[in-house]
């Protein structure tokens, strides 16, 4: 079992697609760790586990707690923890202080932050201070309130130049890889060809160097969430619901606990 590092991950570009998923808890991390290259403790945890309607309310304390839990279940994969909204936008110094906290308190291998050319100084400050950074461009969920919603990027070819510049700027600043979220396949492919580091797509087509999904989405914990980009590989919602119904029936009919479950 060889531990994934940022440099090993980079060497996969052009070799084979990179496999990534999210985790927020120890048991899910243990299931993923054997199979994926990278586990992301995404700030999507706020929407998936805590019931918020965006990632904006997620705090550093929440990311620290979930990051540490996932670390306890992760031995092999590269472990990346998201920097939450407001924890890095003020200044490179604020970003360093909070990224250091995440690295030291969770034991993660790297942090991820959203943003393009506007964040090059911050990315450079973190990486030159020993903190590996994963970037995130395209649709930026933490900016949903200024963007006026979750909108696919790159439909208007005039905006391609800006996204391409963002990608090149964060590569230059030192990110070891970056997420491209919610762009047209054409734009993501163009960006992936223009940079020498891995691009990890979500809702951005097959032209990226790897793919990531939110695990709870791809196992159908949310039957009503059916965006085009998502493929559901299992039906956890139905499985859990059936177990709950069977248990309820057994308790009410006194079939559970049986003599085999009793002392």
Q: Does 44 bind ligand KIV (CB under 6 A)?
A: yes
CB 185 within 8 A of CB 193: no
Neighbours of 198 (CB within 10 A): 26
Q: Which is nearer to ligand KIV, 27 or 257 (CB)?
A: 27
C-alpha to C-alpha distances, 83 to 40, 62, 64, nearest whole angstrom: 11, 10, 10
Q: Does 78 bind ligand KIV (CB under 6 A)?
A: no
CB 110 within 8 A of CB 78: yes
Q: Does 203 bind ligand KIV (CB under 6 A)?
A: no
CB 112 within 8 A of CB 82: yes
Q: Does 216 bind ligand KIV (CB under 6 A)?
A: no
Q: Does 138 bind ligand KIV (CB under 6 A)?
A: no
Q: Does 202 bind ligand KIV (CB under 6 A)?
A: yes
Q: Does 212 bind ligand KIV (CB under 6 A)?
A: yes
Bond prior to 169 in cis (omega within 30° of 0): no
Of 34, 90, 105, 181, which is the active-site residue?
A: 181
- The yes-or-no answer on residue 181 being catalytic is yes
Q: Which is nearer to ligand KIV, 102 or 248 (CB)?
A: 102
Q: Does 42 bind ligand KIV (CB under 6 A)?
A: yes
Please list the residues that pair with 79 across neighbouring strands.
Answer: 39
Mapped onto helix, strand or coil, the DSSP state of residue 179 is strand
Compute how many residues bind ligand KIV; rule: CB under 6 A.
11
Q: Which is nearer to ligand KIV, 42 or 174 (CB)?
A: 42
Residue nearest to ligand KIV (CB): 42
Alpha helices in 107-203 (DSSP H): 120-128, 144-147, 160-173, 185-194
Query: Alpha-carbon distance 135 to 123, whole Å?
Result: 9
Q: Does 214 bind ligand KIV (CB under 6 A)?
A: yes
> In the window 161-190, what residues touch ligand KIV (CB under 6 A)?
179, 181
- Site residues (vs ligand KIV, CB under 6 A): 22, 40, 42-44, 82, 179, 181, 202, 212, 214
Active site residues: 181
């Amino acid at each position: 079992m060889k531990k994934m590092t940022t440099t090993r991950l980079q060497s996969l570009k052009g070799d084979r697609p990179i496999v990534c998923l999210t985790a927020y808890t120890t048991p899910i991390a243990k299931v993923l760790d054997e199979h994926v290259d990278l586990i992301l403790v995404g700030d999507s945890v706020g929407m998936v586990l805590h019931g918020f309607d965006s990632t904006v309310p997620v705090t550093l304390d929440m990311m620290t707690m979930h990051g540490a839990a996932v670390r306890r279940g992760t031995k092999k994969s590269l472990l990346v923890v998201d920097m939450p909204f407001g924890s890095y936008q003020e200044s490179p110094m604020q970003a360093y202080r909070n990224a250091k906290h995440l690295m030291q308190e969770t034991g993660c291998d790297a942090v991820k932050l959203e943003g393009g050319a506007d964040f090059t100084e911050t990315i450079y400050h973190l990486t030159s201070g020993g903190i590996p950074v994963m970037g995130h461009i395209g649709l930026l969920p933490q900016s949903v309130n200024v963007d006026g919603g979750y909108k696919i990027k790159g439909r208007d070819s005039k905006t391609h130049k800006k996204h391409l510049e963002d990608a090149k700027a964060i590569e230059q600043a030192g990110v070891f890889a970056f997420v491209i979220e919610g762009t047209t396949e054409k734009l993501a492919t163009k960006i992936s060809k223009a940079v020498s580091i891995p691009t990890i797509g979500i809702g951005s087509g097959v032209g990226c160097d790897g793919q990531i999904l939110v695990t709870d989405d791809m196992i159908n914990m949310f039957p009503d969430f059916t965006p085009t980009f998502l493929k559901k590989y299992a039906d956890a919602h139905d499985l859990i619901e059936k177990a709950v119904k069977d248990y309820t029936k057994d308790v009410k009919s006194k079939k559970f606990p049986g003599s085999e479950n009793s002392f």
